[in-house]
Amino acid sequence: MKLYNTLTRKSEEFVPLEPGRVKMYVCGPTVYDYFHIGNARPFIVFDVFRRYLEYRGYRVTLAQNITDVDDKIINKATSEGIAAQEVARRYTEAYFEDLERLDIHRADVQPRATETIPQMIEFIQRLIDKGYAYDHDGNVYFRVRKFKNYGQLSGKSVDQLKSGARVAVDERKEDPLDFALWKAAKPGEPSWPSPWGEGRPGWHLECSVMATSILGDTLDIHAGGTDLIFPHHENEIAQSEAATGQRFVRYWMHNELLHFEGEKMSKSLGNFEYAREITERYGPEAVRYFYLAKHYRTPISFSHRAMAEARRAVERVYRLLEEIESQAQSAAEPELNEAQLSERGRALLGKLSQTREAFISHMDDDFNTAGALGQLFELVRELNLCISEDLQPAELPLLRAGEQLIRELGRPLGLFQGAPWQEVQEGLQGELIELLIEVRSQLRIKREYQLADEIRQRLSRLGVELKDQDRRTLWSYGTASQGSDERARA
Ligand code: AMP
Ligand code: ZN
């Protein structure tokens, strides 16, 4: 297998430290809000890579942290007038709910920053003892210039950083590039006792300590979005390698970002959609397909049109699975007899025998899910042709084999594992709701408000709530989820 290593900027043969085992760490969420559909990208793609490594026979141990103490959490708590712990508790729970909605498998170990404080203190002490860190009035900083390889991941030299970056001068630091490992407590903030006084850990440190304390000094894969390369991952390398004297990570993997309205989707810019809303509207497999149909190192733009297209692609496969199951039920299944196959049937047989291999070769090439899905859809096309062009009974076993292959190869992608009838129904339901929304907005343009309101009310009675927002209409099932979404926006 080959994978692209951000550290070397090359595609490299994947050789884990211990044969057959993969130690993997993916940066997790900071729990101060529901995560947005852009945040879902690393969660989904690295979930798929983990599943695929398992499909290829590796034993994977995945650790993913939960940052449950941080400035953003504290700010949210202050603005809502509740305790920071309460904010973290609420959104940690929401995070797990959203993972489940998206069928993202849980990591093997999910450490919380607040439960790893003793190890963090010990780690900082080690850095101080080795001369890589110093304290000043209850704050502890990392001495960046002492770490000779600083900048290797992001490709920035210390001098470039110094002149280019807008690093604020802070007289508590020896050098503006130094970053905080431990922050002295301010009144009302969560804090823990330490040799340097009451305080809390810095974000970069949290990941270094959680990763190495669970997986050991050297990880095989460390992953996250490209926005984390600098300074987060650069700082993680500096801290970890300074403390352990070992190489921290063999392969650094970074997903490109989701854009919306011309910029990176982000909470701070306000150009985001919650993952839970999008998942509810289009279904979890459409969200997965939306990401997997592109290479993870390609930037993607979010649009409702693209989500709807993704849903249609997923439905296309489920319709086929549904069709195959009903064909198989209506006829006794003969043994495969190649001599009796039509030309179409022989073409399908050829496709069946090469799909798995082609799928694997795409996935082995830096997890090219787009190429792999392309193979699956070529198979879908052949199967559909076979069904629509006068299906011969002798071809039934081929359809069955096609179905099994789609399900087998869909498994590492987290696609096509559902019951076909149900998925098709749910997809159709969504399409019909959207059609009604479209009719309603046309009516409103024509000022036929009475009929437009009638549509809204009738849908509401069926448990579908509409919400007009920024010249478009969002819908969701039931009042419970609507309520939580309202809260989220408040
Ligand atoms: P955060 O909670 O902001 O630390 O983000 C959690 C994960 O989402 C990190 O791996 C980020 O790199 C990733 N991420 C944040 N914004 C985007 C985006 N617009 N597109 C893709 N990934 C993102
Ligand atoms: Zn991290």
Q: Ligand 1 atom 14: the closest Cα is on which residue?
A: 39
Q: Which ligand approaches the C-alpha of residue 38 most closely?
A: 1
Cα–Cα distance measured from residue 336 to residue 83, given in angstroms and rounded to the nearest whole number: 66
Asked whether 227 lines ligand 1 (CB < 6 A), one says yes
Helical residues (DSSP H) of 152-261, grouped into ranges? 158-164, 203-215, 234-244
- Which residue type sits at 350? G
CA of 233 relative to ligand 2 center, distance in Å: 7
Picking from 171, 144, 174, the residue whose alpha carbon sits closest to that of residue 159 is: 144
Which atom of ligand 1 is least distant from the CA of 258?
20
* pLDDT one digit per residue (tens) for the chain, 490 residues: 999 999 999 999 999 999 999 999 999 999 999 999 999 999 999 999 999 999 999 999 999 999 999 999 999 999 999 999 999 999 999 999 999 999 999 999 999 999 999 999 999 999 999 999 999 999 999 999 999 999 999 999 888 887 655 566 788 899 999 999 999 999 989 999 999 999 999 999 999 999 999 999 999 999 999 999 999 999 999 999 999 999 999 999 999 999 999 999 999 999 999 999 999 889 999 999 999 999 999 999 999 999 999 999 999 999 999 999 988 887 777 788 888 888 889 999 999 999 999 999 999 999 999 999 999 999 999 999 999 887 888 889 999 999 999 999 999 999 999 998 888 888 788 888 889 999 999 999 999 999 999 999 999 999 899 988 777 788 887 654 433 333 232 2
Delineate the domains of the chain, giving CATH numbers in brackets: 14-255 (3.40.50.620), 315-410 (1.10.730.10), 427-489 (no CATH)
Tell how strand 10-13 and strand 2-5 pair up.
antiparallel
How far apart (Å, rounded) are the C-alpha atoms in residues 182 and 261? 37
Nearest atom (ligand 1) to Cα of 35: 2
The finding on whether 36 has its CB within 6 A of some atom of ligand 1 is no
Pocket test of ligand 1: the residue of 41, 222, 254 to mutate, having most ligand atoms within 8 Å of its CB, is 41
Cβ(25)–Cβ(14) below 8 Å: no
Distance from the alpha carbon of residue 38 to the mean position of ligand 1, in angstroms: 6
Distance CA 260, CA 470 (A): 15
Per the document, the length of the chain is 490
Using CA atoms, how far residue 465 sits from 274, 280, 487, in Å, is: 17, 12, 15
Strands 464-469 and 472-477: antiparallel
Question: Is the distance from the beta carbon of residue 38 to the nearest atom of ligand 1 less than 6 Å?
Answer: yes
> For residue 366, how far is its CA from the centre of ligand 1 (angstroms)?
20
Write the CB contacts of 429 (distance below 8 Å, at least 6 apart in sequence).
Answer: none
**Residue 266 CB–ligand 1 contact under 6 Å:** yes
* Contact (CB, 8 A) for 101 and 284: yes
Angle at CA 299, nearest 5°, toward 111 and 76?
45
Rounded Cα distance between 307 and 35, Å, is 18
CA geometry: angle 405, 375, 384, nearest 5 deg: 70
Q: Is the peptide bond before 231 cis (omega within 30 degrees of 0)?
A: yes
Ligand 2 center from residue 169 Cα (angstroms):
25
Say how far apart CA 235 and CA 256 lie, in whole Å.
20
Question: Best substitution site from 71, 227, 300 to test ligand 1's pocket, by max atoms within 8 Å of Cβ?
Answer: 227
Q: Note whether 313 and 416 are within 8 A (CB).
A: no
Cα dihedral 209, 214, 219, 223 in deg (nearest 10)? -70
**CA nearest 10: which of 195, 183, 253?**
253
Res 95: pLDDT: 98
Tens-place pLDDT, residues 129-168: 999 999 999 999 999 999 999 999 999 988 888 765 556 6
Phi and psi (nearest 5°) for 107?
A: -65, 160
- Say how far apart CA 11 and CA 249 lie, in whole Å: 15
Q: Which H or E run contains 469? A: strand 464-469
- Name the phi and psi angles at 227, rounded to 5: -65, -10
- Give me ligand 1 centre to Cα 127, in Å: 29
- Residue 486: what pLDDT? 31
Cα 168–169–175 angle (5° rounding)?
A: 115
| 199 Cβ inside 6 Å of ligand 1 | no
Ligand 1 pocket check for 430: Cβ under 6 Å = no
Question: For the segment 7-35, what is each residue's pLDDT rounded down to a tens digit?
Answer: 999 999 999 999 999 999 999 999 999 99
| Matching residue, tokens 């649009």 | 303
In angstroms, the first-to-last Cα distance of the chain is 46
CA of 102: how far to CAs of 45, 95, 146, 289, in Å? 12, 11, 43, 11
d(CA 323, CA 386): 12
Check if 283 has its Cβ closer than 6 Å to any atom of ligand 1. no
334 CA from centroid of ligand 2 (Å): 55
Helix then strand then coil, in percent of the chain rounded to 5, is 55, 15, 30
- CB atoms under 10 Å from CB of 272, counted, come to 22
Cβ of residue 27 lying under 6 Å from some atom of ligand 1: yes
Ligand 1 centroid vs 482 CA: distance in angstroms?
Answer: 25
Ligand 1 pocket member 31 (CB < 6 A): no
**Ligand 1 within 6 A of 68 CB?**
no
Q: With beta carbons less than 8 A apart as the criterion, state whether 383 and 318 touch.
A: no
| Å from CA of 389 to ligand 1 middle | 46
Q: What is residue 253's predicted lDDT score, i.e. its pLDDT? A: 98
Ligand 1 pocket residue status of 45, Cβ below 6 Å: no
Which residue from 39, 272, 302 has its CB within 8 A of the most atoms of ligand 1, so it is best to mutate? 39
CA 147 to ligand 2 centroid distance, Å: 19
204 CB neighbour count, 10 Å cutoff = 23
pTM: 0.90
- pLDDT value at residue 86: 97
Which of 172, 180, 154 lies closest to 239 in space, CA to CA? 180
Q: Greatest CA span in the chain, whole angstroms?
A: 85
* The pLDDT of residue 164: 59
3-class secondary structure for 386-434? Answer: HHHCCCCHHHHHHHHHHHHHHHHHHHHHCCCCCCHHHHHHHHHHHHHHH
